[in-house]
């Protein structure tokens, strides 16, 4: 039984990771800014704190055997400094605290968006370079954080970074509710060629990959210092995934689309307007979202299969069935 800290433990993916850890009787601690009642029955020790505060984080890391660093500021809109504070400075604090207290394993949750350059990503593997330019602060700061984690890999602290793509499932508080709310309002559209293939990953599969990475992580091993794409290995047209989620919520399929160039232009216009007016809420469209929706992005996960022993356990069809059941018994 290990003592394990999970940053951002109340989040969607972090909660799934915690459930896996508790099932094998690991002693789990979580540090986050809020208290999460859902973690209480799991027997998690919750620590109030912010990863951008080095002293609070250091105190939380003390005595741990490993750290799952899942906390991040997500989203496609907002001030760069806010993203940098959590995603970059916060990650640096995690690394420093691990070194200070002799933690030997750090598992970091990254994102495929760190290599997104606005073009189609078809069967890309981990050799894909970071782009020269980013369209949003989130992928830019996540790429910076991932590089910090990779550089920190050493005999004292073995590190690994996972890149799960479009995580969804029961309890999702991001992708699923966004699709359902826009579907109910009749404001959901496909962008450009809706037949371009896109990967996603069911939340339990993403959590499994994190556990497998932790179990195989040691300095000098095949996992240490590496990045891994994590998906369901079932690429499909974006509209099929959207329609599956809509159907799980009892909503009809997407029937309208807009040209990719129009979506990008609208995104650029709204970004300019929101910046001028200093609006904090997210625009209905941004350049980053327009490019994401209009391009293919599916990945070769051979490395994860080989090095982590990763095989998705829940298919998209099974996941949609579980999502539908969860939605019938309460909100996502």
**Which residues have a catalytic role annotated?**
138
Contact (Cβ atoms closer than 8 angstroms) between residue 109 and residue 164: yes
| Tokens encoding 145 | 């954080």
Question: What are residue 107's DSSP bridge partners?
Answer: 68, 160
Compute the distance between CA of residue 6 and CA of residue 87 in angstroms, rounded to an integer.
15
Question: What are residue 106's DSSP bridge partners?
Answer: 67, 159
Compute the distance between CA of residue 300 and CA of residue 288 in angstroms, rounded to an integer.
22
Kindly tell me the sign of the dihedral angle through the C-alpha atoms of 20, 126, 72, 223: positive
- Closest residue by Cα to residue 313 from 205, 162, 169: 205
Please provide the DSSP assignment of 120-151 as one string: -EEEE-TTPPPPS--SSHHHHHHHHHHHHHHH
Please provide the DSSP assignment of 265-331 as one string: HHHHHHHHHHHHHT--SPPS--HHHHHHHHS-EEE--HHIIIII----SS-HHHHHHHHHHHHHTS-
- Closest residue by Cα to residue 161 from 95, 206, 106: 106
Torsion-angle region of residue 60: left (phi > 0), alpha (psi -120 to 50) or beta?
Answer: alpha
H or E element: which one contains 23?
Answer: helix 12-23
């Amino acid at each position: 039984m290990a003592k394990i800290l999970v940053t951002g433990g109340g989040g969607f993916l972090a909660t799934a990771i915690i459930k896996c850890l508790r099932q094998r009787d690991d002693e789990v601690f979580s540090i986050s800014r809020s208290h999460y009642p859902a973690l209480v029955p799991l027997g998690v020790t919750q620590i109030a704190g912010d990863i951008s505060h080095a002293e609070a984080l250091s105190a939380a890391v003390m005595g741990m055997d490993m750290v799952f660093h899942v906390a991040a500021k997500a989203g496609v809109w907002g001030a760069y400094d806010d993203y940098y504070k959590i995603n970059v400075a916060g990650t640096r604090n995690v690394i420093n605290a691990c070194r200070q207290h002799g933690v030997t394993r750090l598992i970091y949750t990254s994102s495929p968006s760190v290599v997104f350059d606005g073009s189609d990503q078809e069967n890309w593997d981990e050799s894909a370079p970071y782009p020269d330019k980013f369209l949003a602060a989130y992928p830019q700061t996540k790429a910076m954080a991932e590089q910090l984690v990779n550089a920190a890999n050493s005999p004292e602290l073995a590190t690994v970074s996972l890149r799960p793509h479009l995580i969804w499932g029961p309890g999702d508080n991001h992708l699923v509710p966004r699709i359902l709310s826009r579907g109910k309002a009749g404001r959901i559209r496909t962008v450009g060629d809706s037949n371009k293939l896109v990967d996603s990953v069911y939340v339990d599969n993403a959590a499994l990959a994190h556990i497998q990475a932790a179990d195989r992580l040691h300095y000098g091993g095949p996992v240490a210092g590496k990045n891994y794409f994590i998906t369901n290995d079932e690429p499909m047209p974006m509209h099929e995934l959207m329609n599956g989620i809509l159907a799980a919520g009892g909503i009809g399929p997407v029937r309208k689309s807009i040209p990719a160039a129009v979506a990008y232009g609208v995104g650029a216009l709204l970004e300019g307007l929101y910046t001028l007016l200093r609006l904090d809420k997210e625009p209905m469209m941004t350049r980053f979202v327009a490019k994401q929706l209009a391009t293919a992005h599916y990945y070769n996960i051979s490395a994860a299969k080989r090095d982590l022993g990763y095989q998705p356990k829940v298919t998209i069809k099974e996941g949609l069935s579980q999502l539908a059941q969860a939605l019938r018994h309460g909100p996502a």
